[in-house]
Protein backbone atom coordinates (compact mmCIF):
# COMPACT_ATOMS: atom_id res chain seq x y z
CA UNK A 1 0.00 0.00 0.00
CA UNK A 2 1.38 3.39 -1.05
CA UNK A 3 0.31 7.01 -0.93
CA UNK A 4 0.74 10.15 -2.99
CA UNK A 5 0.16 13.84 -2.43
CA UNK A 6 -0.30 16.68 -4.91
CA UNK A 7 1.10 20.00 -3.73
CA UNK A 8 -0.96 23.14 -4.31
CA UNK A 9 1.59 24.37 -6.85
CA UNK A 10 0.54 21.60 -9.26
CA UNK A 11 -3.10 22.62 -9.67
CA UNK A 12 -5.14 22.62 -12.86
CA UNK A 13 -8.42 24.14 -11.68
CA UNK A 14 -7.72 26.21 -8.55
CA UNK A 15 -8.75 23.52 -6.05
CA UNK A 16 -7.65 20.29 -7.77
CA UNK A 17 -4.60 18.79 -9.43
CA UNK A 18 -3.58 19.25 -13.02
CA UNK A 19 -4.75 16.03 -14.64
CA UNK A 20 -1.56 15.30 -16.54
CA UNK A 21 0.57 15.81 -13.45
CA UNK A 22 -1.70 13.58 -11.38
CA UNK A 23 -1.66 10.85 -14.04
CA UNK A 24 2.12 11.08 -14.25
CA UNK A 25 2.47 10.82 -10.49
CA UNK A 26 0.32 7.67 -10.49
CA UNK A 27 2.35 6.24 -13.37
CA UNK A 28 5.60 6.63 -11.42
CA UNK A 29 4.28 4.00 -8.99
CA UNK A 30 4.12 1.31 -11.68
CA UNK A 31 6.70 -0.35 -13.96
CA UNK A 32 4.06 -0.48 -16.71
CA UNK A 33 2.73 2.10 -19.15
CA UNK A 34 -0.54 3.09 -17.48
CA UNK A 35 -3.81 4.44 -18.79
CA UNK A 36 -4.99 6.63 -15.92
CA UNK A 37 -8.68 7.38 -15.58
CA UNK A 38 -9.64 10.40 -13.46
CA UNK A 39 -12.92 9.69 -11.68
CA UNK A 40 -13.04 12.69 -9.32
CA UNK A 41 -11.03 15.94 -9.02
CA UNK A 42 -7.73 15.07 -7.26
CA UNK A 43 -7.56 17.22 -4.10
CA UNK A 44 -4.51 19.30 -3.26
CA UNK A 45 -2.23 18.97 -0.23
CA UNK A 46 -4.04 15.79 0.75
CA UNK A 47 -2.67 12.30 1.34
CA UNK A 48 -4.25 9.85 -1.12
CA UNK A 49 -4.13 6.09 -0.61
CA UNK A 50 -2.91 3.91 -3.49
CA UNK A 51 -3.68 0.19 -3.65
CA UNK A 52 -2.44 -2.30 -6.26
CA UNK A 53 -4.27 -5.31 -7.65
CA UNK A 54 -2.52 -8.49 -8.78
CA UNK A 55 -3.02 -7.59 -12.45
CA UNK A 56 -1.08 -4.33 -12.02
CA UNK A 57 -4.05 -2.00 -11.72
CA UNK A 58 -3.72 0.91 -9.28
CA UNK A 59 -6.57 2.59 -7.44
CA UNK A 60 -6.23 6.01 -5.80
CA UNK A 61 -8.66 6.89 -3.02
CA UNK A 62 -9.47 9.75 -0.71
CA UNK A 63 -11.50 8.12 2.01
CA UNK A 64 -14.37 6.30 0.31
CA UNK A 65 -14.00 8.29 -2.92
CA UNK A 66 -12.13 6.76 -5.85
CA UNK A 67 -10.08 9.59 -7.34
CA UNK A 68 -8.38 7.67 -10.14
CA UNK A 69 -7.57 4.27 -11.59
CA UNK A 70 -4.49 3.21 -13.52
CA UNK A 71 -4.47 0.15 -15.78
CA UNK A 72 -1.55 -1.34 -17.74
CA UNK A 73 -1.90 -0.31 -21.36
CA UNK A 74 -0.22 -0.19 -24.75
CA UNK A 75 -0.14 3.20 -26.44
CA UNK A 76 -0.67 3.00 -30.21
CA UNK A 77 -0.25 6.57 -31.44
CA UNK A 78 1.30 7.84 -34.64
CA UNK A 79 3.25 11.06 -34.14
CA UNK A 80 4.04 13.51 -36.93
CA UNK A 81 7.42 15.27 -37.08
CA UNK A 82 7.64 18.45 -35.00
CA UNK A 83 7.71 21.92 -36.54
CA UNK A 84 10.91 23.94 -36.46
CA UNK A 85 11.61 25.51 -33.08
CA UNK A 86 11.11 29.04 -34.42
CA UNK A 87 7.72 27.97 -35.82
CA UNK A 88 6.74 26.63 -32.39
CA UNK A 89 7.73 29.98 -30.88
CA UNK A 90 5.60 31.80 -33.45
CA UNK A 91 2.70 29.42 -32.84
CA UNK A 92 2.78 30.17 -29.12
CA UNK A 93 2.03 33.82 -29.94
CA UNK A 94 -1.36 32.54 -31.19
CA UNK A 95 -2.13 30.87 -27.84
CA UNK A 96 -5.90 31.09 -27.29
CA UNK A 97 -5.40 31.28 -23.52
CA UNK A 98 -3.99 34.78 -23.85
CA UNK A 99 -7.48 35.95 -24.77
CA UNK A 100 -9.60 33.74 -22.51
CA UNK A 101 -8.55 31.12 -20.00
CA UNK A 102 -10.87 29.09 -17.78
CA UNK A 103 -8.08 28.18 -15.35
CA UNK A 104 -5.38 30.89 -15.54
CA UNK A 105 -3.50 29.47 -12.55
CA UNK A 106 -3.06 26.04 -14.17
CA UNK A 107 0.43 24.69 -13.50
CA UNK A 108 0.95 23.74 -17.15
CA UNK A 109 -0.71 26.42 -19.29
CA UNK A 110 -1.91 29.12 -16.91
CA UNK A 111 -1.22 32.71 -17.93
CA UNK A 112 -0.92 33.76 -14.27
CA UNK A 113 2.11 31.52 -13.76
CA UNK A 114 5.76 32.38 -14.39
CA UNK A 115 8.75 30.23 -15.32
CA UNK A 116 10.03 28.52 -12.19
CA UNK A 117 6.47 28.37 -10.86
CA UNK A 118 4.49 26.92 -13.79
CA UNK A 119 5.50 25.20 -17.01
CA UNK A 120 4.24 28.11 -19.15
CA UNK A 121 3.44 25.91 -22.17
CA UNK A 122 1.32 28.07 -24.46
CA UNK A 123 0.38 25.92 -27.47
CA UNK A 124 -1.02 27.86 -30.41
CA UNK A 125 -2.08 27.04 -33.95
CA UNK A 126 0.60 26.38 -36.56
CA UNK A 127 -0.45 27.95 -39.90
CA UNK A 128 -0.99 25.33 -42.58
CA UNK A 129 -0.63 22.48 -40.10
CA UNK A 130 -3.45 20.75 -38.13
CA UNK A 131 -1.53 20.97 -34.85
CA UNK A 132 -0.85 23.33 -32.02
CA UNK A 133 2.72 23.79 -30.84
CA UNK A 134 4.76 25.53 -28.17
CA UNK A 135 8.37 25.78 -27.07
CA UNK A 136 9.24 24.59 -23.57
CA UNK A 137 12.48 24.96 -21.65
CA UNK A 138 12.24 23.06 -18.34
CA UNK A 139 13.58 24.96 -15.33
CA UNK A 140 15.67 23.73 -12.41
CA UNK A 141 12.68 23.24 -10.10
CA UNK A 142 11.71 20.20 -12.22
CA UNK A 143 15.07 18.46 -11.75
CA UNK A 144 14.91 14.87 -10.55
CA UNK A 145 18.36 15.18 -9.00
CA UNK A 146 20.48 14.22 -11.99
CA UNK A 147 19.77 17.11 -14.35
CA UNK A 148 16.81 15.31 -15.96
CA UNK A 149 13.19 16.38 -15.66
CA UNK A 150 11.08 14.12 -13.45
CA UNK A 151 8.60 11.88 -15.25
CA UNK A 152 5.49 13.44 -13.70
CA UNK A 153 6.48 16.85 -15.07
CA UNK A 154 6.96 15.42 -18.56
CA UNK A 155 3.50 13.90 -18.24
CA UNK A 156 2.11 17.29 -17.19
CA UNK A 157 3.74 18.95 -20.21
CA UNK A 158 1.84 16.53 -22.46
CA UNK A 159 -1.54 17.47 -20.96
CA UNK A 160 -2.85 20.93 -21.87
CA UNK A 161 -1.67 21.15 -25.51
CA UNK A 162 -4.25 18.43 -26.21
CA UNK A 163 -7.01 20.66 -24.88
CA UNK A 164 -5.96 23.56 -27.10
CA UNK A 165 -5.77 21.23 -30.09
CA UNK A 166 -9.49 20.55 -29.56
CA UNK A 167 -10.77 24.05 -28.84
CA UNK A 168 -9.81 27.69 -28.97
CA UNK A 169 -10.65 27.88 -25.29
CA UNK A 170 -14.37 28.49 -25.79
CA UNK A 171 -15.40 25.25 -24.03
CA UNK A 172 -14.75 23.89 -20.56
CA UNK A 173 -13.31 20.40 -20.83
CA UNK A 174 -11.72 18.25 -18.15
CA UNK A 175 -9.17 15.49 -18.57
CA UNK A 176 -10.90 12.14 -18.08
CA UNK A 177 -8.28 9.61 -19.21
CA UNK A 178 -4.58 9.91 -19.99
CA UNK A 179 -2.12 7.40 -21.37
CA UNK A 180 1.52 8.48 -21.50
CA UNK A 181 4.59 6.74 -22.88
CA UNK A 182 7.96 8.34 -22.19
CA UNK A 183 10.88 7.52 -24.48
CA UNK A 184 13.70 9.35 -22.74
CA UNK A 185 13.99 12.10 -20.09
CA UNK A 186 14.46 15.67 -21.24
CA UNK A 187 17.13 17.72 -19.51
CA UNK A 188 16.77 20.86 -17.44
CA UNK A 189 17.24 23.90 -19.73
CA UNK A 190 16.87 21.76 -22.86
CA UNK A 191 14.90 23.64 -25.56
CA UNK A 192 11.93 21.35 -26.25
CA UNK A 193 8.83 21.46 -28.45
CA UNK A 194 5.37 20.21 -27.43
CA UNK A 195 2.64 19.59 -30.01
CA UNK A 196 -1.01 18.57 -29.86
CA UNK A 197 -3.55 17.44 -32.45
CA UNK A 198 -7.23 16.37 -32.48
CA UNK A 199 -8.08 12.70 -32.95
CA UNK A 200 -11.86 12.37 -32.61
CA UNK A 201 -15.01 13.89 -31.13
CA UNK A 202 -18.25 12.21 -30.08
CA UNK A 203 -20.80 14.33 -28.23
CA UNK A 204 -19.18 15.61 -25.03
CA UNK A 205 -16.14 13.35 -25.43
CA UNK A 206 -13.06 14.39 -27.38
CA UNK A 207 -9.71 12.69 -27.98
CA UNK A 208 -6.37 14.35 -28.62
CA UNK A 209 -2.77 13.30 -29.07
CA UNK A 210 0.30 15.13 -27.81
CA UNK A 211 4.04 14.70 -28.19
CA UNK A 212 7.18 16.10 -26.61
CA UNK A 213 10.41 16.51 -28.57
CA UNK A 214 13.90 17.18 -27.25
CA UNK A 215 16.46 19.69 -28.41
CA UNK A 216 17.60 17.53 -31.31
CA UNK A 217 14.05 16.94 -32.53
CA UNK A 218 13.88 13.38 -31.16
CA UNK A 219 10.64 12.08 -29.69
CA UNK A 220 10.85 12.04 -25.88
CA UNK A 221 7.23 11.33 -24.95
CA UNK A 222 3.73 10.98 -26.32
CA UNK A 223 0.24 10.76 -24.92
CA UNK A 224 -3.37 10.08 -25.83
CA UNK A 225 -6.06 11.92 -23.87
CA UNK A 226 -9.79 11.77 -23.47
CA UNK A 227 -11.36 15.12 -22.62
CA UNK A 228 -14.98 15.48 -21.45
CA UNK A 229 -17.22 18.53 -21.43
CA UNK A 230 -19.06 18.62 -18.08
CA UNK A 231 -22.83 18.65 -18.32
CA UNK A 232 -24.18 22.16 -18.03
CA UNK A 233 -20.79 23.79 -18.69
CA UNK A 234 -20.80 26.98 -20.74
- Give the residue among 1, 46, 42 at the shortest CA–CA distance from 23: 42
47-52 and 2-5 as β-strands: parallel, antiparallel, unpaired?
Answer: antiparallel
List the beta strands (DSSP E) in the chain.
2-5, 34-38, 47-52, 58-62, 65-72, 124-126, 129-136, 174-182, 192-202, 205-213, 219-228
Supply the pLDDT for residue 206: 97
Supply the pLDDT for residue 231: 83
Give me the domains of the chain, ranges plus CATH numbers. 2-72 (3.10.129.10), 85-228 (3.10.129.10)
Residues of the chain with pLDDT below 70 are: 233-234
> Is the CB of residue 87 less than 8 Å from the CB of residue 79?
no
Supply the pLDDT for residue 169: 80
Supply the pLDDT for residue 234: 52
Supply the pLDDT for residue 170: 83
* Residue 10 phi, psi dihedral angles, 5° rounding: -95, 40
Supply the pLDDT for residue 233: 59
Supply the pLDDT for residue 1: 74
Amino acid sequence: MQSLRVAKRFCGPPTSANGGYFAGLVATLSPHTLSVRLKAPPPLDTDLLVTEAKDGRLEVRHGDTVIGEGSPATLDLHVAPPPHYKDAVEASRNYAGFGRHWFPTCFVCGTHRTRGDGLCIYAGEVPGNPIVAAPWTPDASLDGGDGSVRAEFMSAALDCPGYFALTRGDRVMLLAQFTVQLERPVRVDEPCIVIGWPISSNGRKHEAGTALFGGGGELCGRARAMWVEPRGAS
